[in-house]
Amino acid sequence: MSQVVIIGAGPTGLTLAMLLAQRGIDVKLIEASRNFRRTFRGEALMPSGLEAIEFMGLTDLVARIPHRPLDAWEFVIENRSIFRVDEPMEPGGKPCTLISQPAFLEGVMAEARQYPNFEFIAGTAVRDFMWENDRAVGVILGDDRQIDAELIVGADGRSSIVRQKAKLPLDRQSQNFDILWFKLASSPEFEAENIFYSIISGHDGFGLFLGCEGLLQIGWSLHRQVGDDANAWQRINWQAKLVAAAPDWLVPILQQQKIDRPVLLSVTVGLCPQWHAPGVLLLGDAAHPMSPVRAQGINMGLRDAIVTVNHLVPLFQRHAQLTEIDAVLPQIQAEREPEIIQIQKLQHAEINQGELLRNYAPLRYGVSWLAPHLSLIRNRLRQSWVDRQLLLRQGVTSVSLKV
């Protein structure tokens, strides 16, 4: 029997598997995909995530794989630059950094594979649980294989099957946007300085930056209203739409490109009131699916993994009773939940600011006319944004690897 079976080799599940394997725990990691070439959601890490990577001893890995620090954030409303904030925002601190998620996961996998007590099963999804006296005691894979476990960890993302099988409900937060993701050829303007632009034009809004693998990336907020045709975005001429919403300096860059149809990345946000059941623990997006706003989900997943290792390793190293393992699961939730609640609130506040500007034209035009000319207003807006970023960058609670 495995001590821990982890479902999902995303950032949460794979780093947890590696950390447990390094500490002598017998781990099986099960991943539905065959490789790390699937569509990924996001590549930005905040200082809190970079610190987690440092605790995990993976800073050298990040240096070896495609990565790119951000130089600044800039806000553009109705074709005018409102303010800019340079990275790193904290003196002597770490800049928000874009990393290649596939290369990162491959590197963590290579580290985990060095341990004979680690096993990776890829290309097969978990479809059910095995139960004994109301405790989950293993998983059944799509190919009918059965795998026993002292503990099942669901790190299988926002549509978690583990969550469903363990009957742990998710409280979804109302969410009226998805992201349309465009990848475009780079242009020299972006090579000199990598600025994350947040651009609002009329009711439209999008983010733009140079990704770690050298392609320009655009995340377009696709707002949904009740009764909307869910496929309407597929019929839009995106070249024309992006050009119409772009500030003047961006227009020629977009016009030179052939812009293909984007990829739709659906957004789910929520929190499970309970992250555990007898024999089961949920982590990462499975327990608390995160909004893409200000790049939080990977960071939170890495921090979940560290706290979980701190609690579980001493128990598994002394081969504790199953009842002792179940007893520690609420402590893991109790340690992580306050940060998740606070970060989701802060993300929501960021979304509300954008909504206000998109939906209230007098405010949008007022800000876009006044801020570029009046330094008092520009500095106030800038400082208020910087103040709101502190916890989103550093995290809310102190997390460190103790075992």
Ligand X SMILES: Cc1cc2nc3c(=O)[nH]c(=O)nc-3n(C[C@H](O)[C@H](O)[C@H](O)COP(=O)(O)OP(=O)(O)OC[C@H]3O[C@@H](n4cnc5c(N)ncnc54)[C@H](O)[C@@H]3O)c2cc1C
| Minimum CB distance to ligand X, residue 118 (Å) | 16
> Contact between 155 and ligand X (CB under 6 A)?
yes
Looking at beta carbons only, is 275 or 371 nearer to ligand X? 275
Please identify which residue in 4, 5, 6, 7 interacts with ligand X, judged by CB under 6 A: 7
| Minimum CB distance to ligand X, residue 398 (Å) | 19
Q: Report the Cα–Cα distance between both ends of the chain, in Å, rounded.
A: 24
Rounded Cα–Cα distance for residues 270 and 83 (Å): 31
| Minimum CB distance to ligand X, residue 375 (Å) | 32
Looking at beta carbons only, is 262 or 371 nearer to ligand X? 262
Segment interacting with ligand X (CB under 6 A) among 16-24, 152-160, 270-278, 341-349: 152-160
DSSP string for residues in 42-95: --EE-HHHHHHHHHTT-HHHHHHSSEEE--EEEEEETTEEEEEEESSSSTT-PP
| Residue corresponding to tokens 């982590």 | 283
> Contact between 267 and ligand X (CB under 6 A)?
yes
> Contact between 161 and ligand X (CB under 6 A)?
yes
| Minimum CB distance to ligand X, residue 324 (Å) | 26
**With left for phi above 0 and alpha for psi between -120 and 50, is residue 98 left, alpha or beta?**
beta
| Minimum CB distance to ligand X, residue 287 (Å) | 8
Residue 59: how many CB atoms within 10 A of its CB?
A: 12
- Binding track over 272-311 against ligand X, x by CB under 6 A: ------------xx----x-x--xxxxx-x----------
Cβ contacts of 8 within 8 Å, gap of 6 or more: 30, 31, 32, 154, 155, 156, 157, 160, 284, 286
Residue 334: how many CB atoms within 10 A of its CB?
A: 11
Looking at beta carbons only, is 66 or 314 nearer to ligand X? 66
Query: Count of residues binding ligand X (CB under 6 A)?
Result: 34
- DSSP E strands in 248-366: the ranges are 263-265, 270-271, 276-277, 280-282
Binding site for ligand X (CB under 6 A): 7-13, 30-33, 41-44, 125-126, 155-157, 161, 179, 265, 267, 284-285, 290, 292, 295-299, 301
